Structure 1
């Protein structure tokens, strides 16, 4: 950017020659004439003349345009910026939010359970108030679920699988509360067993299945604004309010179920909702993801984007699909941690 100095159109102000006596100092010469008032006597007195020094044009300043992808996380951020894993059965990609100091999302995946290639466990966990809860749950809830399912007696004792999953969630919650750690985590889990898909959730992590290309949500988000959740909270003496278009429990937490959150345990329950589905040939793949995805990408849009990369028999690329969904959410302004897991259901038929 350049600037110019306006000079009055008077005969004594010749643009070519100015009396030397009018220059007050070398510093003024360096920056040109700036508001120097001349008396008529001084202006007309004879004196040697010098050529006016030309001021150098300042160097051009290039101001780069910073896109969303160039924004760096705040100072003090941990070293865990992303996680990824891929196989023929599942793929997962997690990325820390742009303004997050700590990656709070975690995931869990275990295949060939008890030597059975048709039995597997998967989970995505969205922590809040730190990563301790999500880390703890990712390492323990799968074990608790398998203990309940394998040792609980199940249908032989008249115990439904939904009750076994519920018991595992409650036990995991109780174990974490004993740690006396702050924070909590939302959960979505999927157990594959004997051709069944058992999906559970507590919080706003979500499971969406592709059925011949159509999106089918297998979970319902647990938010304080959900009518039945609102009634439950208020019946227990709690309240919800809205701040910046977000409904919050006790003015703080934006979810109504999850594991942890000891300071809100009177209202934040860890009891999951569970759905059991028989895996059919038209059940193509399952997406488990944290709300960092679902706040910016709809269920059907996620299926439409992932499907070409998941159902191609010649060159399936589900990990690329996970990354594409994460990056789409970021491009739409998500600042949250984002985790996306894709499970190839046809591999378990």
Structure 2
């Protein structure tokens, strides 16, 4: 068997086979579990190992329309440095609109540019990947601000995936979903968090604490029906882009997860809730194993239709990340991982917004690099935003517009500077983005109240 330093030791499997009655305590397993490998180390290994090359990315798409509010984005030819093919990366996204199509179309056309504008120029690939999670947050918030200025009331979920080599970064708001089918371990991992008020207790508490009301629809006679919704507006999601008529406590701040695959590759299934309302993550992955990406996407949609019928827009992207020396994705083993190897090779989500629905039971040999789901903008942007090249000029961390010192307000300060505040610490926000931040946290009305 060919060795590779990216491949974990298989001794836990041998231990389990030779000593089936051996039971280890959780503390013992925790001590044995290898620590997460820093991103810089992983990239350094790639550079030192000539056998590790950039993978092929092959994809397929399929959809059935019920309301015509689903949109998707496929850009497999992006470049970190324009004109340099060695800096290529791919983007795949699904936008599931509601209350109209305007938000989904606007976000499809503007989100990628806003994200890329939030990443510093002339930085290395390692720095680019490390800056990407924060840039995704800034891009989502900026796109939401720009769309709400149009005065339209539609909204959209977003699941946005960036693939750079073996590193996959996923940002999401709403209930579209991205799963990873690991080809080595046969383990299906959820890379997103569903922001549905019905299932997400932490999001319900956040919305009510920020000034929203959560309840079911009341019908004649006082009976409550349907899923939990946020009022005003009646939206059953706690995060989205758009939805101007609902309230700023429905935030556009995405859950972000970044992982690095082994050089055996893997399959991503990105789909709107028309798929996930009909199929579990395991069902979707197993239904299309062994097929090329284009046929796999069609089969997932067909399986969802067979299971539930066409009750909603149903859109699916299947993306295969394939070793460069193989024409197709290797077959996925059907053998399940044992409990010991799950502890040793998988990192259970520690800081996701919804720990109940987003646990990674096991991730095979996938390295988890980053995960954060907080809805607090200051926490997501960090504190290391420097001043612009022009001395004394601050740059807004969200809209990327230069601000004079008198107008650059730190996101970590209160409405007024107090002795405990540190106005010199970033990130800095312009007045417009600061108002957006305060509104999302329930500190001020998101828009003027209209008397009726």
Distance 1:152 1:268, change over 3 A: farther
SS of 2:211 mapped into structure 1: coil
Distance 1:182 1:348, change over 3 A: farther
Q: Which runs of 5+ in 2 are unaligned?
A: 1-55, 218-224, 326-452
Distance 1:194 1:145, change over 3 A: farther
* Residue from 264, 269, 282 that aligns with 2:246: 264
Match of 1:128 in 2: 98
Q: Which runs of 5+ in 1 are unaligned?
A: 1-86, 310-315
- Bigger Cα Rg: 1
Q: Hey, what's the Cα distance between the residues in 2 that align with 1:160 and 1:203?
A: 23
| Pair 1:214-2:187 in alignment | yes
Distance 1:203 1:181, change over 3 A: same
Distance 1:150 1:191, change over 3 A: farther
Q: Hey, what's the Cα distance between the residues in 2 that align with 1:335 and 1:123?
A: 22
Match of 2:13 in 1: none
* 1:149-164 pair list within 5 angstroms: 149=119, 151=121, 160-164=131-135
The answer (yes or no) to whether the contact 1:214–1:303 under 8 Å persists in 2 is no
* Residue from 301, 316, 325 that aligns with 1:340: 316
The answer (yes or no) to whether the contact 1:248–1:254 under 8 Å persists in 2 is yes
Deviation at 1:116? 3.3
Match of 1:108 in 2: 73
Distance 1:285 1:348, change over 3 A: farther
The answer (yes or no) to whether the contact 1:296–1:334 under 8 Å persists in 2 is no
Name the TM-score, length of structure 1 as normaliser.
0.67
Q: Hey, what's the Cα distance between the residues in 2 that align with 1:283 and 1:158?
A: 19
Deviation at 1:92? 1.2
| Pair 1:199-2:161 in alignment | no
The answer (yes or no) to whether the contact 1:223–1:254 under 8 Å persists in 2 is yes
Match of 1:15 in 2: none
Q: What number of residue pairs does the alignment pair up? A: 252
Q: Hey, what's the Cα distance between the residues in 1 that align with 2:140 and 2:92?
A: 14
Q: Hey, what's the Cα distance between the residues in 1 that align with 2:295 and 2:123?
A: 40
Match of 1:300 in 2: 282
Match of 2:434 in 1: none
Match of 1:184 in 2: 155
* Deviation string, structure 1 residues 284-330 (Cα, Å, up to 9, x no partner): 21011000100010000100012121xxxxxx2x2222122112222
Q: Hey, what's the Cα distance between the residues in 1 that align with 2:107 and 2:173?
A: 12
Q: Hey, what's the Cα distance between the residues in 1 that align with 2:103 and 2:63?
A: 17
| Pair 1:289-2:271 in alignment | yes
**CA RMSD between the two structures:** 2.5
* 1:1-349 pair list within 5 angstroms: 89-97=58-66, 100=67, 103-114=68-79, 115-116=84-85, 118-149=88-119, 151=121, 160-212=131-183, 213-225=186-198, 226-243=200-217, 244-250=225-231, 252-309=234-291, 316=292, 318-331=293-306, 332-346=308-322
The answer (yes or no) to whether the contact 2:263–2:323 under 8 Å persists in 1 is no
Match of 1:71 in 2: none
The answer (yes or no) to whether the contact 1:325–1:340 under 8 Å persists in 2 is yes
Q: Hey, what's the Cα distance between the residues in 2 that align with 1:143 and 1:284?
A: 27
Deviation at 1:153? 5.8
SS of 1:204 mapped into structure 2: coil
Distance 1:158 1:241, change over 3 A: same
Distance 1:321 1:158, change over 3 A: closer
Q: Hey, what's the Cα distance between the residues in 1 that align with 2:120 and 2:165?
A: 13
